[in-house]
Amino acid sequence: MVILSLIMFPFDPEALAGRVVELESWRRQLDQRTLVRSWEGRLRRDLEASAVAGSTGLEGVPVTADEVRRILAGDRPATVSTGNADLVRGYRDAMTFVLHRADDPAFQWSRELIVGLQHRILAGKYELGAGRLRQGQVDIVNSGTGARVFVPAPPARVAALVDRALEEVATVDWHPAVKAGWIHVALAAIHPFRDGNGRTARVAASLAMFRGGFRRPEFCSLEEWWGTHPADYYSAFNCLGAEFDEGADVTEFLSAHVAAQVSQVQALDREEQIGRILWIALENLCVDVRLPSRLANALYDAFHEREVTAPYYRELADVSAATATSDLQAALAAELLAPVGERRWRKYRVGPRLYERVRDVLGLSVSPPEPATRFSIINDIARGLRATQGITVGATLRIAEASPSTRVVAWAPPTEIVSVTQGIATPSRSRTH
């Protein structure tokens, strides 16, 4: 076993090698995939909403992905407080910031960068300690039992430890997934702030992936995965022990982190293929009933039994208030949407003919005949993908002449592991145990 001799938080790179190679194989496959332009924009919005909801949820901010979608579109639901909506927007702003900074030739890992991320994540809330390293000792407790589970670094050491960790991550030549996991666990152990530590560590991990050349959101943000697997997330930190120790072996956490990235990209790949087929079907349906293809935005949400409001749709489709109202009324007339409530409080849900029309566009036959449902359509799409190993044929993905940006590329999941040219460790900095 080879343990890297680091200034802090050593690990065994050999334990990570297999998963890193698998992740790199997925990266090569997905980088070759061409997405429908309109679908790619929608996919990014949905993944962003799921990531923000997952990460803020881990820190006790009670928002769903559907609520996040509306908040980020400027349509805060009444069920979400103004303060929580601020934290949602702050987290999105931090993620946008790291994406913009990632390919800057003058980029540097620095303490001020991390402090700036935390300030954005907490929406600048001074009372929460936004933009300042903590001055007092804090304990990590189990929210269910109140028991202390970890004692982070003493406040007098925080600034120097953050500087050392960032110096390390700036100079090592590890695979980006390993670097992401390492900066994640290092910042979590140091716990440099009064609040926002977990979110800051997760955003910094995404930044490490962006810096390493990963651009697809499936790879770069683990928030959604950790948000749906919180027990796995918290147990991965057990390797840190009961109190701060910079010599703690973090192989367990890095193994969990890289494995989660592989699992997430596999899960999101399946969801993306199904969602892409559905999206194109909805655009084709709009053409068939002489509606603008931009209404696919509202129909996609309604298909998934989410509420749509006029302000939300207006932002998604980038149209005026009058155009948004006209579009939604046309969808009502076609019975693809159904109204709930009156006037300014009106919302739109799935209409009586939406599922039936989608099934017809997809060319799905049912014998004996039965009502089309969201689950039956998704299951039929998934079965088709399994049967053709990712290759879609016939009416499933016909290209609408009115949507010149629509392109369909057949793709199958990777069947073999390829080699990785970038090492996950620097041999000259290792020792054998």
Confirm if 391 and 410 have CB atoms less than 8 A apart. yes
Bridge partners of 339, per DSSP, are 348
Q: What pLDDT score was predicted for residue 6?
A: 62
Say how far apart CA 82 and CA 297 lie, in whole Å: 26
Which domains are seen in the chain, by residue range? 14-269 (1.10.3290.10), 277-397 (1.10.10.10)
Per-residue pLDDT of the chain (433 residues; tens, 9 = 90+): 555 556 799 999 999 999 999 998 888 877 777 677 788 888 888 888 988 998 888 888 889 999 999 999 999 999 999 999 999 999 999 999 988 888 889 999 999 999 999 999 999 999 999 999 999 999 998 877 888 999 999 999 999 999 999 999 999 999 999 999 999 999 999 999 999 999 999 999 999 998 988 877 666 778 888 888 999 999 999 999 999 999 999 999 999 999 999 988 888 888 888 999 999 999 999 999 999 999 999 999 999 999 999 999 999 999 999 999 999 999 999 999 999 988 777 999 999 999 999 999 998 866 556 788 999 999 989 888 888 754 433 333 332 333 333 333 222 233 222 222 233 333 233 333 3
β-strands 430-432, 347-350 pairing:
unpaired
Measuring CA to CA, which residue among 292, 350, 349 is closest to residue 324? 292
CA distances from residue 363 to 252, 271, 279, 356, 406 in whole angstroms, order as listed: 48, 20, 15, 11, 19
Phi-psi label, residue 363: left if phi above 0, alpha if psi -120 to 50, beta otherwise: left
Residues 6+ positions from 248 with CB-CB distance below 8 Å = 9, 189, 239, 240, 241
Measuring CA to CA, which residue among 42, 36, 64, 39 is closest to residue 306? 64
**DSSP code, position 396:** G
Q: What pLDDT score was predicted for residue 368?
A: 58
pTM above 0.85?
no
Confirm if 142 and 90 have CB atoms less than 8 A apart. no
Q: What pLDDT score was predicted for residue 290?
A: 96
Enclosing H/E stretch for 314: helix 310-317
CA distances from residue 113 to 116, 118, 162, 216, 258 in whole angstroms, order as listed: 5, 9, 11, 23, 24
* Amino acid identity at 394: G
Confirm if 311 and 356 have CB atoms less than 8 A apart. no
Phi and psi for 221 in degrees, rounded to 5?
Answer: -130, 115
Q: What pLDDT score was predicted for residue 42?
A: 86
Question: What tokens appear for 284 in the block?
Answer: 């084709």
Measuring CA to CA, which residue among 269, 201, 227 is closest to residue 31? 269
Distance of CA 12 to the CA centre of its chain: 28
Q: What pLDDT score was predicted for residue 370?
A: 73
Terminal CA-to-CA distance of the chain, rounded, Å?
A: 6
Bridge partners of 308, per DSSP, are 348
